[in-house]
Each structure stands twice: as C-alpha cells, then as structure tokens.
Structure 1
Amino acid sequence: MWNVRKAAVIGAGVMGAAIAAHLANAGIPCLLLDLEGLAAKGLSRLKMTKPSPLYDPAFITRIRTGDLERDFAEASDCDWIVEAVSERLEVKHAVWKRIDAVWREGMIVSSNTSGLSINEIVSVCGEDCRKSAMVTHFFNPPRYMKLLEIVPARETAPEAVAQMSRFCKERLGKGVVLAKDTPNFIANRIGTFAMLATLRAMEKHGLTVDEVDAVTGPLLGRPKSATFRTLDLVGLDTFLHVCRNVRENVSDPVEAAAFADPPVVERLVAKGWLGEKSGGGFYRKSGSAGGGKSAIETLDPATMAYGPRAKVASPAIEAAKMAKGSAGKLRTLLEASESDRLAAFARDVVEAAICYAADKLGEIADTVIEIDEAMRWGFNWEEGPFETWDSLGVAATAARLEERGRAVPGPVAAMLAKNSETFYIRKAGSMFHYSQGHYKFVEERPDEISLRALKEKGRTVFAGDGANLIDLGDDVACLEFRSPNNAIGPGVLAAIRQAVREVGLNWRGLVLANEGRNFCVGANLMLLLLEAENGEWEEIDLIIRDFQDSMRALRLMPRPVVAAPHRMTLGGGVEACLPADRILFSAETYFGLVETGVGLIPAGGGCMASAALAQERAEAAGLDDVAVPLAKLFETIAMAKVSESGYQAKALGFWRAGDAVLIREESRLAEAKQAVLELDRRGYAVPEANRRIIAGGREAATVMKLGVSAMRRGGYISDHDVRFAGKLADALSGGDVPAGTPVTDRHLLDLEREAFLSLCGEPLTQARMRHMLATGKPLRN
C-alpha cells in the first residue's frame, strides 16, 4: 500500500502553504519550497491566518522551508510532490521539468491547478513521470474544505490514481471525486456557471444585490454567503480568471458565450474593488454608523455607489422560510406564484444550474455522484444538481422546462424515456444511482457506518422524544440525538436513561454520536430562561437534577461508552461526552464548556467531571495537590474557551488517556464501534459508584478568586463576571473544605447545582440568556 513518509510542496503562496499545513495536520513531514525568502514568508503567514490552517499550532514544526534553487534536489526523497505555483502554463512547465529530473520509482507527482489541463502541464515530462502525474485540486482553505478533485492525465497509471484517492480519503480526510481533464474540472465549472446564470437572472428581473442574496442562500440550499458575499470572498479578479479559462477552452461557442465576463464585475475590477481582499466589492464596511459601530453597505450596480443594506421580504420568501428542510424550502420557493419576481428569479437560477450540470454529465465526470459530491463538498450546497432534480421531481421539472420553452437535457430525457424517474433510489438502506440506462449499486465501505441507512434497514431499537437508539451491529448500539440543534432537553435525557437500561442489560456497549450538523450545542437554554423568568426554581432544580442523574447513570453503566463528537460540541454536549470511557474527537470538533457566556456555570456534571480530570492530571504529573491543573481548567471554563479542533481539546484540559482524534469524518462511527468492542474484549471494569475526588479546597478557590479580582481591577471583566467566577471556583474546588479532602461526586454535583440555581435568579444572567437566544452572541454586562 502506497504511503507518504515525506512530501514536498512547491510554491509557498496562499494555497501551497495551506496544503503543506494540512499535510502537517495528518502527521506528514513536509518540505515547502519557493524562491529565496518566500517559503519562510509563507510559513509565517500560516501562523497568523485565521481561522488557523493547522489543527494545532505545534504542528507547524512538521514543515521545513527550502530554497527552490538550492534545495530542490531534496524533493527526490519525497513520496509525493505537489506543485502549487501560479496558474501560468510557462511557470508550471519550468517547475515540472525539474520535477521530472528528480522523479523516482514509487513517487507520485501532482499539480494543484484549479483548471489548467494536466495533459498540457506534464507534456514537458518523460513517460515514467507522466504515468505517476495527476491533478490534486484542493479547495481553499484545504483544512476546512472537504473537496479534493483528482484528475488523471491520459497516461496516468490507474493504480497511481487509486493509491492517491485512498491516501487522500483516509489520511487527509478528503472527499475525493474523479474528474476529467476539462476546463475548471467539476465544481468550479458548474459553480461558476451558476454564478453567471444568477447575474444574468438578476439583470432580467431587475433585482438588487440584497434581493439576490436573500434568495440564493439557504433558501436554495446554498451557503449563507449566497452569491455576492461568496464572490467577494473568492475575489472578483479570480472569478474573471476562472470565467476566462472556460471561455477560452471550450469548443461550443454558445457555452463560451455563457462564460462571458459580467459587465458589473469588469467595472468593479477596473476600479480595484476586488472584494474582501481589497476592502470592498459588492459589499463593503463603512467607517461607523451612529453608535460608532461599522456597518455593511451594498453596491448599487446601476450607479456603482454604496448604500445601506435593505431588508428583503416577499410572500414567497416568507413561505419558504416556514417550510421544513432544505428541499422543502426550495420546493416552496419555486412553486410560488408566477407574479412573485423573486420566485421567478429563483426558478431561472435553479433551472439553469441543474440543466447545465445534466448537459455536462459524461463530459466533466462519469457519474452523477461525482458531480453531486463535488458541489456539496466544494461549494457547500445542501444538495447536488442531480439530487435537486430528484427533490423537485425529474418528470415534473422536465415538463415545466418544456412549458417554458426550454430544452430538457439529453441525459434527463434519456432516463425518462426508459421510465426511470429518479437519479437515485434507496432500497432497504442501500443506494443506487442511474447510469447509462440502468441503476448501479453505490458500494458501501466496511469502515463507514450510516445511521440513516441503518434506520432504513429497520435497525432502530427505540425512537425516543429527542433521541434514537440504533443497532450498529456486533451488539453495539448508538444513541443518536435528534432534537433541534441536538440540544439536550427532557426528551434527550429520558432517552439517555432508557439507553443506559437497555444497553446495560442486552448489549456490549454504547456509542454516543449523530449525523447532525453539530454534535450538540448545549442544553435547552430557552426552557431554562422561561422557567427562570417565571420564578420556577423547583422546576429548574428538577431539570438540573435530571441532567446530573442522567450523566451519572451514563458514567456508571456496566458497559463501555464511547463518545464521537463532531463540530460544535458545547456546554451540555461536553457534559454528555465526559462520562464516556473514551472520546474520539472528529478533527473539526469545537469543544468547550461555555456556560459562563450566559452568566451560568456547568451544572450537568461538568464541574464535577473537571475536578476529576484535575485529579487525573495531578496524579499523572506526580503533583502533591490538584491546584495547578484545577486552575488551568478554571481558566478554560471561566473564559468559555472552545477548542479550535479536536486536537486542541487536549490543550484545554479535556483530554483523557485513550482519547483520540479522527481526521476522516466518514469513519467516525465505525471507529467508535471498534473502540467499544476493544474495551469490551479487554474485560470492562464497571466504574466505581462511590468514588472519591480529591478537592482543591478553599485554598485553591482563594487562588482562583485572587486572579479574578486582579482582572476586575484591570477592567477586563465586570462585577457580574466576578460573581459567577467565584461560584465556579467554589464548585470546582469542592467548597469550604481543606485542600486534599476526598469528596464524593454527589457533593460536587450539589455544589454546581446550587450555584447554577442562584445564578439563574440573577437579572444580569437572564439578560445574557435573552441576548444569546436573540443574537447568538454573548452579552458582557
């Protein structure tokens, strides 16, 4: 099996340096080459880039810079060379001639070009080098964007493509699609066409920038950045370059005309208004507005002047917002009245995109899967073009196209002629896709588990109010949260207790995981605020006791528990993970106890679990007391710190022996299942019910409070911050007991619950809760 012991990236620009960073994320030593001084500048830029290209700042030590002239020969020792120089063929030819000179057997070489022909790029190389050459087109930023397009040249060996695909999926966590050597490959080809079609429809219907972005974001199943915010982020000069590359390299004059430079973008570029990188494009920030805060202004393309953003509303938009799910919102919008110009605009935009994708099937990619995955992973569409055809109804959409005088794409007409009406079908949890006249089975990988597919196969053990228990096979079950935002409320807690009883009696162990956008954003804050505003203190006490008892039951279950969090895992989501025997973090896990952001402290066992973690740290470090690790966790919780990756959960103090990070998101459930089985095979020891935790005591609390007082004197925090930080210090340290006193977990749970209740009664805390619910941002009062 081909592996990469060492890699070289040639070109230390924004993309080259970021690719090197992601190789370092995967534990691969990397040589970053550029002209003298440029490689070092690229490395320095990585340290300042936000969000960080690195999972952990320490990983930058895996990258070594070199001079393109003096150190190029060192690339001969690498298993993979990535060329990431400027998008000019003559520049790439000069580099590839040098790559050819250092190529050796077993090496794979690739270009990160976003649209140049790989066959033209490698034309200067010898036959052996050409057999190992391909495009590996990373989307920017490489750490965060899942898509990687692999494009073989005519002579590329199939085994080299297979090796690279496997490596990029498993080691780099990428979503790999195989594209053909056509201009701009798959995602940029369709995405750019869709942008251009949007601009043409905007002009046709007389819409403003604000109106276009109100429609072309989540209502169409696309990112919040919609059209013009996305263009500003990409860079308008870059957008014109992509348009030109297609226009100059396609043979169909009609298609070439569709990629003509939009006049409004040409005018902006001529003025140097390139988008975010130049300070303004279709949007810009004004200096200040009234209260001293900056405001976002919108371009009027007719006058080329900026003005205040306008709120957009229409019956079609309001109806679409009320619909459930991205497919429901899209259908509602497109089926709105013909007289609604925003709906008419949306129909033109969507039809143009899905028809173009269908027309290009077979030319840019062989299957609908590759096109759909490219658009989901590369442009963050909720559904790819062919999934959209299915959601809208292929036959119904084709009929509407004919009614509107538009040609039905050939692949769609051919499918309908065979009495097939969907591009995808699901049967008993298995997926099939339509290809060349019949349906083909979508191969399932043994290291990937889909909860959706298991539920379709009838593997649901029970469906509770807020969570499901699902049979993963081999006597391992998975508890899947499915409440809104996967927030923890009474229904989820009841399901946890039911799962503990069921798994404790009949299963080998339990996985905590789900396939939602985030693992869990915390407890049900709205419920708590309503109870607090009504003075229902006994009810809040019962809610918190219920939370604590459920987490304690999870910890004491006589079977192993493995948590597999991903993305936002906050507050109560963290408290649900900490009772587990092992946590397998997705690389993109943002993990933190954030209750202080709303003027509260963790009370679902978070303080108690943190005190236990401090004891583990002290014992591992051979410390006489828990004061030092406890102070570190106090700072983490008091400041509501959240890890910027799964790896950084360790720096924040939440990591335990046996915990791990998984870069490949698709393997998360399978890896968690195997971890449960491993713990079971070893002979699982039931956790001690009456464990004692060594308290930091009043001495540790005093030290913490002194630090808080110093911050207050410096004006960094408010009086209310001091109030809840003091209660947090007492809850973490065990209250008014001497340092080193063994206390029960029940004692610590009582302290955190009492502090939580008292803070719920504070008007300033309630104001913070209301502000968070209204704005999604913390209030400092």
Structure 2
Amino acid sequence: MKNRTIQRVAVLGSGVMGSRIACHFANIGVQVLLLDIVPKELTENEKARSLSLESPQVRNRIVNDSLQFALKSKPSPVYHKKTSDLITTGNFEDDMSKIATCDWVIEVVVERLEIKKIIFDKVEKYRKPGTLITSNTSGIPIQWMNEGRSDDFKKHFCGTHFFNPPRYLRLLEIIPGPDTDPEIIKFLMHYGDLFLGKETVLCKDTPAFIANRIGVYSILSGMHTIETMGLSVNEVDKLTGPVLGRAKSATFRTMDVVGLDTIVNVANNLYAGLPKDESKEVFQLPKIVKELSDRKWLGDKTGQGYYKKTKDEKGKRLILELDLNSFEYKEKSKAKFDILDEVKDIENVKDRLPKLIHSKGKAGEFYRATFYDLFRYCSFRIPEISDELYKIDQAVCAGFGWEVGPFATWDLLGVKATVEKMEQAGHKPNAWVYEMLENGVDSFYSVINNTKHYYDIPTKSYKPVPGTEGLILLDNLRKTSKVWENAGATIFDYGEGILGVEFHTKMNSLGAEVIQGINTAINMAEENYRGLVIGNEGQNFSAGANLAMLFMYACEQEFDEVNMMIDQFQKTMMRARYSSIPVVVATSGMALGGGCELSLHSDALQAHAETYIGLVEFGVGLIPAGGGTKEMTLRVSDRTEPGDVELNALQAAFMNIATAKVATSAQEAYDMHIMRPSDRVTLNRKRLLADAKARAIELAEAGYTQPKQRQDVKVHGKAGMALFEAGITAMLYGNYISEHDAKIARKLSYVMNGGDLSQPTQVSEQYLLDLEREAFLSLSGEKKTLERIQSILFKRKPLRN
C-alpha cells in the first residue's frame, strides 16, 4: 500500500459536529475545506443590504455562520485563535470540485440516508481515486451507505464516528463497511491515535456501535431505577458525577447540555433496531424522560429540562430542579448521603468505587442496581458489538468520560463475588463469564510482564491489549517497578536508565511529601540512572502548592515555617533545573502555580495538548515564589535583542502573572513563553509518559551537561517600576483593581525589576529568588490575602477584596 499522508481534509456539513471536526483537524495543522448547503432565502439583514442569493457572502452564509459560532463557543474547539486560518469555507454547489485536492473527505450532514446518498453522488463525481471517504454517522449502518457506490469508493469508505466536542472527547470509533480495504482501517486506527490524539476503537456495524449502545443503555437503565427508588434530580447527580470518576455534569445535567431529544432519538432508534436484544425494553422511555420529551423541555436549548435557570426577586441567579413526581420546578434539594462524606478524602476513584457500591443505605442500593444491570448487559453484548471486552471499556471511557469502564469496575469488586450478588439481584450474566470462572480465571484484566492483558473469550486465555505496546501505564508498573514511595509520591523505574516520579496527593498538590519525592528521585537518578521524568496519570498534573498548610502557618503567624516552606520549594525547583541528569516534566490538565513553576524549571517540558498552565498565585493574594517570578523575568531577559523595547516584553510577562492568566492549551503556553521552542506537545494523553521518557533519553544521549546557575539576568530597577506604577495607579483609579490588588502588583513589580536599583543591572537567579521569598512572606501576613486563601479553600470561590 502507498505511503498515505493527510495534508488536506474536506468536511461536508458545518453543523455542530462538522464545524468542530474541521477545527480539530486544523488544530493538528491540517488544511481543511468546510462545505455546506446554499441558503434558499435571504435574511432581513441581507435584504436591507440589497444582496441577492447569488452574492458570494450569501451563498456561504450558512457555513461561515456555523464556523464563527463554533469558534466563539466555550470551551473553544481550537487550541489557538490562529488555528482557524487553516479552514477554508465554501458550499456544495460552487466548491464541491475542490475535494479533488483533498486526501480525506468526511461526511457530517444530517442523519438521513437519502441526503447522505445525494452528497456521496457528488463525492463520487469529484474525488480522486484512492481518496479516503468516511461518514460521521452515529446510527445509520455503514453497509446501507455503501449501496450503489463504485468499487474504489467502497474500498476507501468506512465510518469514523467522532464524539462531541471532538477536541475534548477522546473517542474515535472506526467502523468498516463490508468492502473496506483492511489497510485503510489500519491507517485510520494509527492516524486517529497518533495524529488526532484519539482512543481509536474498531467497531462492528451494529446499531449505535459501542459507546452509544452501552452509554445510552446505562443512562436509561439508571432512569428506570430512579423512578422506582424515588430519587431526586440533584441526588442522582451527586451520586453519578465525579465521585464515580465521571463528568461533573453527571446524569441529568449532561442530558440538559446534550439535549434530551438526542438521547430520545438514539433510544427510539435502538428500540426499533434491536429486535433480538434481550434487554430492548430498557430503551422504552421511562416516564421521567417521555414526559419532558412530550413537553419539549429538552434542556439548555429550550431553556429548561431537568434544571431551569431563573432569578429571584432581587435578580440573583437561581437554578431550580425538576420534581420528578409533580413535574414542577423547585429549589434544588439537598443531597445528603453518608457514604459520600466517608469517601471524600479518597483521591483514587479505583479505591472509591468498591466502597460506594458495597455501601449501605439508599446510595449503595442505587449503585448496586445500576452497576449490576450494566455488568450483565455488557456481558451479553459480546460478541454482538465486540469480540473483545476491552473495547467496551475503551469506548465508554473515551466517549462518555468515565475513568473506569464496566469490566474494569467489575474487576475492582471481584468478579466471582459480584456474580453471586448479581444473581441474587436478578442480573445473571452471560454464560461465558461462568466459563471463565470455571477455568480458574477470576479477572477480566491482568498485568503480565508490565503489560496490560485482557481475557480473550474464544481462546480462554489472556492477550495483550492492542495499542499499549511501548506505552508507560503506571498501574502496570506498581507491582514490579516501584522503587520508592511515601504518602504523596511514588518513584518508578521506567527502564532504559530513566526514573519516573508520580504525585498522588489531592489534586496532586505540592506538599512536603511531594517535595521529598522529587528530591529523592533526583538523588537516585544522579547516582544510578541517566534521566528523570516527573509526571502522572491524574486528570491534572498539579493544582499547585498545598494552600491549606500555608494558611495554617500564616494564621498562626508561624512565619519562620512559611519561610522554610518557600525556601525548600525554591531549592527543589532549582535542583530540578540544575541537577546532573536531564529532568523532563510531563503535564496534562491543570498545571497551576507550583505545578507551572516545576514545569518552568525542567530541562524539557513534554505537554499534552490539553495542558492548562499558568502562574495563578495573584488570585490568592500572593506572587509566585517557587521561582516562577524569577523564571519569567529571566526568560524576558534572554529573549530580548538589542533595539527591542525590553520593558514591553517584561510588562507582558508581568500582566500574565498579575491577571493570573492560564493558557487554555499547550499552543497558548508557547505564546505566554511558559513553553519554550524546544518544548514538545503530545496529542494522545496515553502516550505522554512514553514521549517524556523518550525525550529524557534523547537529552541524555546528546551528552547532557549539568548547567550552572545564572548570574546575568537583566533587570531594570527604578525605571521599570516607574512604568509599572503608572499602569497600576491607572487601574486602581479606574476601579479595575482593588487596593489589595495594587499592593500585590507593586510587590510583583519590585521583584521583576530587581528591586530599588538606580539603573538596569545584571543580577543572579538567587538574588531574584530572595526577593520573591521576601515578597511572598510579606503578603502571607496580610489579612486580605488570608481572606482570599480561605475563600478558595472553604468556598471553592475566588475572592477579590
């Protein structure tokens, strides 16, 4: 097969999915042609401007409006505002011939077979032979769309089902047609994984494929259970959100956001299309779904669903919840379950799940009813929707944002013991589960030689999970490669002379245990290894320093302790920067405050594309004092050339810190100079640690030399402070900032300008670190700073006082 590359993609259909799929291809640097239909009527605005239906701006109005709507949506579908420059728009009548220049054509039009066939007729007319053609259908069988097409079309055609929003949801289901060339499927599986950053799952051409089949069943099964148990909307969302390792929007809020009509359409189609499904009656809409559907209370798109936003008599925003008995709106009920209090300090969801499902009371009853039914249903879907059980876990986790899939959850509870409880509850699983247990196999997954294996039903043996070769998955290393551990960090031997340190505190905050772990790892690496990776598999790399400990010391006026904390933190950051071995930091999710400072002091940063990084200390009344202020000042000094307006660059760095700006992607982090040109981005989250390890090896083999601390950081003294003071005063007088904001800003200005120096001077890193620490100490004794910290810790809300 020829060496296939994707340089230009055509996306046919610019609706919610089409426009966002176009944006994600542009995210990875691919040129995109986005097409849609020509309007049939003029708008009032167009009439007023004396435009006609033949005017170019009218003919492309639908596609342009859709793209602009997508680009303005939150969260953004693009990594960077310039990404959209790679997207060219057009329409099906004037621009379809341009698909001849494209390597891949993706159809994303309305879910009606006759319309898709019309589009495919045009594709057949203009595409060049060998071009990939795929459909983003979520329900129409691929084989139906194959009918009447040419042999070359059918050979290069299959389903590629993205999940919305494509930038953020990791699943890409690949569904071959009856005539698809296996080499095409192999290419798409690889391309989706490596270039699009997706969990690519090979599916059978069955109704709703894998993720929606299981995910929608889980939702509707839960709805039937909710009806019988009399749980409230808010109670269910408390039970089914982050505590289970699932989205914050949980069950009912998710349905409001997605749109109840979407769930209803999928459910109705499944009920009609699954005559042999032993559980098809579950897809019959329960009253608490059907009633809202009949009333057209579809969620956010209609202004009300299971929740309704309104205002009280004082104009204060209120969120009401639906009473599932009366179908009237009321104040949100209090959701109080003892088990939720009991598990709130258990950070790892895999440790929480058994306690939740085995708990007493209404919560445990709800969990057992829904999980046992889900386990049973999944067991009966093999081999119908998948021959391999791991694909079900992969698809549901990546498509619905679950941290732990059904079979992995079943393993956590103990397969055999759970089967007995399922039988008692009337949820007897499929026969192959009993055969597995009779053969002495008591888990669906097993780690063998540091590689995750799944139970293969036909061969009755374990096989490696495909696609995990060469990856670093920490759960696979815990029994064999752990070399050190304390309460906050674990050090692993990654092999090939590279150590890795993982944090596992709450939100991966950087407390004393983590600092000890980093220093221990550097000591070990300098003595017996050739490199170190600092990274983890948590949702967030690190939310920053341990504010609770700082708050306690500051409230008790233990400022010697605060000083020691800052000093130790600074020394650890500098140790990471100036050790004798390369230190690579691997970030994903939030890397805030101290997490950002650790990244800034790495030899190399390997960032997942979805890294949200920034120095946010200003928001709690402080300045970065783990070397963050010093490092941003140093980077301005390094990148200014003779003739540059140096203070402009310094002021930009100052404003990023003073506004607690956070990059919303790794690409934005380059703009903020948090990421250097030499730092790299990983698109697929599961590849992050392996990429970081490869980077550490690369640095070591390039002849890594221990760097020396800098003595040549240029600062501007009084001249710089005078410029910054003018801006601070103007902001204060304009009521854009408070007096306390101004005080913090002046402290920040003092540090970044090197203090009260009479002229521009070169200073050492340690000089700036000392200024940082003094400013931090001073601010930590301020009443208003403590009020800000208290608000974050206890109310989870920022306070501007």
**TM over 0.5, shorter chain:** yes
Query: Hey, what's the Cα distance between the residues in 2 that align with 1:325 and 1:395?
Result: 23
Question: Which of 95, 104, 123 is the matching residue for 1:80?
Answer: 104
Q: Against the structure 1 CA distance between its residues 434 and 303, is the aligned structure 2 distance closer, same or farther, given a 3 Å change threshold? A: same
Deviations 1:539-573 (A, max 9, x none): 11111111111111222112222222111000001
Q: Is the 8 A contact 2:223 2:288 kept in 1?
A: no
Deviations 1:596-627 (A, max 9, x none): 010000001111101111112213xx445631
Q: Is the 8 A contact 2:581 2:704 kept in 1?
A: yes
Aligned residue in 1 for 2:16: 14
Query: Hey, what's the Cα distance between the residues in 2 that align with 1:58 and 1:131?
Result: 36
- 1:526 maps to 2:526: no
Q: CA deviation at 1:401?
A: 2.3
Deviations 1:295-335 (A, max 9, x none): 21100122221000111224444445466643443333333
Query: Hey, what's the Cα distance between the residues in 2 that align with 1:527 and 1:316?
Result: 27
Pairs within 5 Å for 1:338-737: 340-436=361-457, 437-443=460-466, 445-458=468-481, 460-619=482-641, 622-624=642-644, 626-737=646-757
SS in 1 for 2:322: strand
Name the aligned partner's letter for residue 15 of structure 1.
M
SS in 1 for 2:311: coil
Name the aligned partner's letter for residue 767 of structure 2.
H
Query: Hey, what's the Cα distance between the residues in 2 that align with 1:174 and 1:758?
Result: 47
Q: Against the structure 1 CA distance between its residues 779 and 279, is the aligned structure 2 distance closer, same or farther, given a 3 Å change threshold? A: same
Q: Against the structure 1 CA distance between its residues 347 and 482, is the aligned structure 2 distance closer, same or farther, given a 3 Å change threshold? A: closer
Query: Hey, what's the Cα distance between the residues in 2 that align with 1:485 and 1:718?
Result: 30
Q: CA deviation at 1:230?
A: 1.2
Q: CA deviation at 1:713?
A: 1.3
Q: Against the structure 1 CA distance between its residues 516 and 489, is the aligned structure 2 distance closer, same or farther, given a 3 Å change threshold? A: same
Query: Hey, what's the Cα distance between the residues in 2 that align with 1:45 and 1:21?
Result: 12
Q: Is the 8 A contact 1:467 1:479 kept in 2?
A: yes
When normalised by structure 1's length, the TM-score is 0.96
Q: Is the 8 A contact 2:279 2:377 kept in 1?
A: no
Aligned CA RMSD, in angstroms, stands at 1.9
Aligned residue in 1 for 2:273: 249
Aligned residue in 2 for 1:303: 326
Query: Hey, what's the Cα distance between the residues in 2 that align with 1:574 and 1:271?
Result: 49
Query: Hey, what's the Cα distance between the residues in 2 that align with 1:56 and 1:746?
Result: 35
Q: Against the structure 1 CA distance between its residues 750 and 443, is the aligned structure 2 distance closer, same or farther, given a 3 Å change threshold? A: same
- 1:178 maps to 2:198: no
Q: Against the structure 1 CA distance between its residues 405 and 548, is the aligned structure 2 distance closer, same or farther, given a 3 Å change threshold? A: closer
Query: Hey, what's the Cα distance between the residues in 2 that align with 1:461 and 1:329?
Result: 25
Q: CA deviation at 1:25?
A: 0.5
Name the aligned partner's letter for residue 655 of structure 1.
M
Q: CA deviation at 1:124?
A: 3.0
Q: Against the structure 1 CA distance between its residues 614 and 244, is the aligned structure 2 distance closer, same or farther, given a 3 Å change threshold? A: same
SS in 2 for 1:248: helix
Q: Is the 8 A contact 1:700 1:739 kept in 2?
A: no
Name the aligned partner's letter for residue 353 of structure 2.
L
Q: CA deviation at 1:645?
A: 0.2
Q: CA deviation at 1:777?
A: 2.3
Aligned residue in 2 for 1:222: 246
Q: CA deviation at 1:219?
A: 4.0
Query: Hey, what's the Cα distance between the residues in 2 that align with 1:60 and 1:377?
Result: 26
Query: Hey, what's the Cα distance between the residues in 1 that align with 2:524 and 2:366?
Result: 53
Aligned residue in 2 for 1:30: 32
Deviations 1:625-650 (A, max 9, x none): 63121100000000000000001012
Q: Is the 8 A contact 2:380 2:429 kept in 1?
A: no
Query: Hey, what's the Cα distance between the residues in 1 that align with 2:392 and 2:279?
Result: 18
Q: Which ranges in structure 1 are unaligned for 5 or more consecutive residues?
A: none
Q: Against the structure 1 CA distance between its residues 774 and 731, is the aligned structure 2 distance closer, same or farther, given a 3 Å change threshold? A: same
Name the aligned partner's letter for residue 100 of structure 1.
E
Q: Against the structure 1 CA distance between its residues 31 and 308, is the aligned structure 2 distance closer, same or farther, given a 3 Å change threshold? A: same
Aligned residue in 2 for 1:122: 146
Query: Hey, what's the Cα distance between the residues in 1 that align with 2:148 and 2:311?
Result: 52
Q: CA deviation at 1:677?
A: 2.6
Q: Is the 8 A contact 2:297 2:305 kept in 1?
A: yes
When normalised by structure 2's length, the TM-score is 0.94
Aligned residue in 2 for 1:332: 355
Q: Against the structure 1 CA distance between its residues 699 and 371, is the aligned structure 2 distance closer, same or farther, given a 3 Å change threshold? A: same
Query: Hey, what's the Cα distance between the residues in 1 that align with 2:347 and 2:657?
Result: 36
Name the aligned partner's letter for residue 501 of structure 1.
N
Name the aligned partner's letter for residue 355 of structure 1.
R
SS in 1 for 2:499: strand
Question: Percent of aligned pairs with the same residue?
Answer: 38
Q: Is the 8 A contact 1:150 1:179 kept in 2?
A: yes
Moved more, 419-428 or 368-377: 419-428
Name the aligned partner's letter for residue 431 of structure 1.
K
Name the aligned partner's letter for residue 450 of structure 2.
G
Pairs within 5 Å for 1:87-166: 87-166=111-190
Query: Hey, what's the Cα distance between the residues in 1 that align with 2:364 and 2:520?
Result: 46
Q: Is the 8 A contact 1:376 1:382 kept in 2?
A: yes
Moved more, 166-175 or 411-420: 411-420
SS in 2 for 1:105: coil
Question: Which of 226, 234, 240 is the matching residue for 1:202?
Answer: 226
Moved more, 591-600 or 196-205: 196-205
Aligned residue in 2 for 1:55: 79
Q: Against the structure 1 CA distance between its residues 211 and 689, is the aligned structure 2 distance closer, same or farther, given a 3 Å change threshold? A: closer
Moved more, 315-324 or 586-595: 315-324
Q: Against the structure 1 CA distance between its residues 497 and 215, is the aligned structure 2 distance closer, same or farther, given a 3 Å change threshold? A: closer
Query: Hey, what's the Cα distance between the residues in 2 that align with 1:642 and 1:122?
Result: 47
Q: Is the 8 A contact 1:53 1:143 kept in 2?
A: yes
Moved more, 217-226 or 651-660: 217-226
- Size of the aligned set, in residue pairs, is 775
Moved more, 423-432 or 634-643: 423-432
Query: Hey, what's the Cα distance between the residues in 2 that align with 1:357 and 1:474?
Result: 39
Query: Hey, what's the Cα distance between the residues in 2 that align with 1:569 and 1:424?
Result: 32
